[in-house]
Amino acid sequence: MNIKENYLQYFESIERDNGEIKAYKTITKDEAMKALENNDNPFPVVFADQISTKGIRTTANSKMLENYIPPFDATVVERIKEAGGVILGKTITKEFGVGETENSFGACAAVAHGDNIVGFSTGHKGFMHLGAHEYKLFAYKPTYGMISRYGIIPVASSLDRVGVLSKTFDNIPKVLNIICGKDEKDSGSFPCESNFLDLEDINLHEQRVVNLDKFGHFEDVENFFEKINIPVEKRNIEGLEYALSTYEIISSGEFATNMERFDGISFGYRSDNYNNVEELYKNSRTEGLGRSVKQKIMFGNFVLSEGNYEDFYVQALKARTMIKDNIEKLLDEVEFLIAPVSLYYTAGLNLAGLPSISIPFGEEGLLITTKAFNDKRLLEFVNKLILEIEGDSND
């Protein structure tokens, strides 16, 4: 079977099953076939519908952007295409990353449905890890700033990150080598000096690991670490219980600010039902945005308003700093933190901007994190850990 026939099989399967799996918002068969021409190293990829793709509809799953076709690629898309990536389609997301949808985990569904597909999704709270756990995938979210956010439709700018989804671990270091690094179009991006394809062989038993689980649903993972003789200490992070409420306040404030551009005048859906500019603005947003999106905007405007800003938003910023400092203080003592895949933990890691990977292992999944910019060491640890997991399953 030649390469084109292989990709035609991808699309036959996608077109047949998408009504059931609810993965794709836009299927890009024609664009993919064209991308295969003069492509020496093609590999199939999907992008969440919040990531801008030149000439391909990018809607954020919202009526507000239902006809938006970007004239440019997000930096992550540009780099993947230059390396040979062939886009199979854009996947379903929550509306603007927060609203209602038929499948919150469209990118996960697309990756799980095909062979050797790499998915790229956006995350700001931890739903990408939850979706990966549900679909038994690996999900990697690098340190904040290691992947350019240019071309990502923003939810909360200080929290938004692009993550990688794959059925196998091997794809993750490969694509990170392509997409990580400084981008002049994103002032918050950083240079990347690591070669993720050159993972060192580390001694698992010399790594200090802390288990953050405080609800007692992690016994299978705890037993496995004990079986392979990795010492694990149980500790709590002070203030982590405030992470979700802190996230809601900060993300809502940033979201309300980011959504101001969608006014029916300069950008986005425009209502036909208006008699003046005020009605145009009001009706365009009323008709173009879903209920959950409006609620988050309203809450964001509330916490940013005079009289509430100091009591809510400033306090949330202080809580974020406390949580970040406490996590980093613990990581000054140990190499890695592990926890079940749960928003209770992922929200705190997002607030701190730390790298994290979720592994399809155990009933509650396995979430692992380390210090910021220690991404390569995290991948080395996971690479060795997977060999132990595979060896244990073969016993």
- Cite the beta strand spans of the chain per DSSP E: 24-27, 43-48, 85-91, 118-123, 138-141, 161-166, 209-211, 232-234, 336-339, 356-359, 366-369
At 97, which amino acid appears?
Answer: G
For residue 108 the two structure tokens come to 């996960």
Q: Give the side-chain half-sphere CA count within 13 A for 13.
A: 15
> Where does residue 386 rank: exposed (0-12), middle (13-18), buried (19+ CB within 10 A)?
middle
d(CA 12, CA 7): 9
**Beta pairing class for 138-141 and 118-123:** unpaired
Which pLDDT score, from 0 to 100, does residue 394 have?
62
- Report helix, strand or coil for 27: strand
Which pLDDT score, from 0 to 100, does residue 100 have?
83
Domain ranges of the chain: 3-179
pLDDT tens sequence across 22-71:
999 999 999 999 999 999 999 999 999 999 999 999 999 999 999 999 99
Which pLDDT score, from 0 to 100, does residue 307 have?
93
What one-character-per-residue DSSP string does 231-280 give? -EEE---TTGGGHHHHHHHHHHHHHHHHGGG-SSSSSS---S--SSHHHH
d(CA 318, CA 296): 21
pTM of the prediction? 0.96
d(CA 239, CA 330): 13
33-58 burial: b if 16+ Cβ within 10 Å, else e = eebeeeeeebbbbbbbbbbbbbebbb
- Report helix, strand or coil for 134: helix
CATH code 3.10.450.50 for 3-179? no
User: pLDDT below 70 — which residues of the chain?
Assistant: 1, 393-395
For residue 239 the two structure tokens come to 């203030």
Which pLDDT score, from 0 to 100, does residue 395 have?
61
Handedness of CA 174, 176, 177, 179 (dihedral sign): positive
SS (H, E, C) 90-105: EECCCHHHCCCCCCCC
Which pLDDT score, from 0 to 100, does residue 101 have?
87
- Report helix, strand or coil for 163: strand
- Within 10 Å of residue 137's Cβ, how many Cβ atoms? 25
